Chains A and B, each alone.
Chain A
């Protein structure tokens, strides 16, 4: 640690200050430069391949030619299964945490700890678990359902934590007011708390969708590789991230399609995350307006 600095700090350390200034700017520009490089590379290689027919047709020749339509459908189905399962479970757990448990109490701490640990489990381990539990033990095989359920376990902690934060943001006066009006807690939740917290709940949902869409490792052994149009949830379906991986690693000459698919994936993620940010900003504004 440096000596205690004083009034003439700047004059004492001219060299240190200048080195620090240079180093911080250099580091920041390095990170920004790498990001711009990545983005420019994606656009440069991907944009040429990207057009309407790429989105609307099936892949041909292992994805070197043709489009990604069945893959987009599979991705949407997998994410939909994950959200349909995880959202009600997540909301219910969040309500229990914020409305029915004492903050810092045993129940709250135990559930919180298990969620934090779950959030830290590596995605490949979710893949192992999903394969052993959903695909083999429950007999769902390599299917959209297996993949979706595996992702549901994975996004649950984010959904619960954001929903809990949203519900805790509702001022306690509103709960007291509802109780004073003689509303049951069920009615208060249904009519007041959840409607008020809806933008945050939706923002959390969007974050969960984004996380699920970007996932690859957990899907390779659960929803599988098949790139045909799925006819039911019990069919294997290839998610767009798995498609990018497969084109890059296993298909010689698949790079351009991989780049174009990556652009599609990033565009989807930007849309979803943009919606999440917009929704949570709106809540803050509304909160200020009601005060």
Chain B
């Protein structure tokens, strides 16, 4: 084979691979939609938000409690994780002595690598009994939010750290020339300069919280209800899929695919907002 012919073959092979790789996303959307379609065309979109209850085997498909639970839990966890994550990054960049900084950096990286099922195990055996002492039943919206918060702190911390590291040198020089103290530089220069990247990191962390299944499934009690307090057990969209997929058939199965599709759309919106505000997708 001549040299150019071989290069053409290579390019052809690579193109096929790339088409397959980028086709997977389309395949996922296609299959979710086809599986969701039967129940979707029968009962319509509104029924999922305004039906009286979730009795999927009897044709009542109210996803509202799950939507509210997912939303409440990811909001609560991000409210805890955002300040902690930003403070963690600030700690590493501004406050920590070198030895402590290196150790803390490792803690954040290791924490990011803990599998969610292990966090769920720890949450169920440690956090849930502690909450039970405050108010029964223990497995609750609060337990889910706490475990999720611990899970997404590294996401916020690492994106904020990357953002702080990307601040041009002359900002620091300028701040020093103005005689700003450490705190003045931090509050007046550094954080405002990377505001949008921090926001993007928070959006990505929230997307992660919304899509998380195992940790939430294990600690939040899984009762289908609209939560009225932090101590109520709730069932999120993801937990609902994981719990019912094993035995669901027909319209019920189809309804679970509808909730999967809804979840995907929500996560995409968050990722899109993050991208628009200048965030990097974190592949980890």
Contact = CB atoms under 8 A, between A and B. Distances in A.
A255 interface: yes
Contacts of A220: 242, 245-246
Given A24-B87, A31-B88, A114-B26, 17 more contacts: A1-B187, A1-B192, A31-B111, A92-B18, A93-B14, A96-B15, A120-B271, A124-B238, A128-B32, A128-B35, A158-B284, A186-B7, A221-B246, A248-B120, A259-B121, A265-B118, A273-B113
A97 B26 CA distance: 19
A202 interface: no
A122 B126 CA distance: 26
A283 interface: no
11 contacts: A10-B184, A31-B153, A38-B150, A93-B17, A117-B271, A128-B241, A160-B21, A216-B214, A217-B213, A248-B117, A266-B115
B90 interface: yes
B122 A42 contact: yes
B24 A27 contact: no
B114 interface: yes
A156 B24 contact: yes
A81 B196 CA distance: 40
A275 interface: no
Interface stretch (A15-23, A49-57, A191-199): A15-23
Nearest to A99: B14
Question: DSSP majority for the A interface?
Answer: helix
B121 A248 contact: yes
Instruction: Name the residue among A4, A13, A16, A124 with the largest chain B CB count within 10 angstroms.
Output: A124
B175 to A, nearest CB: 9
Contacts, number: 266
A24 B217 CA distance: 32
Contacts of B117: 214, 216, 241, 244-245, 248, 262
Which 7 pairs, one residue from A and one from B, show the smallest C-beta to C-beta distance? A122-B211, A92-B17, A27-B87, A5-B184, A214-B115, A7-B179, A217-B213
Contacts of B6: 184, 186
Question: DSSP majority for the B interface?
Answer: helix
B188 A17 contact: no
Given A25-B91, A100-B11, A156-B21, A124 B213 contact: yes
B84 interface: yes
A171 interface: no
B183 A20 contact: yes
A205 interface: no
Instruction: Name the residue among A2, A20, A121 with the largest chain B CB count within 10 angstroms.
Output: A121
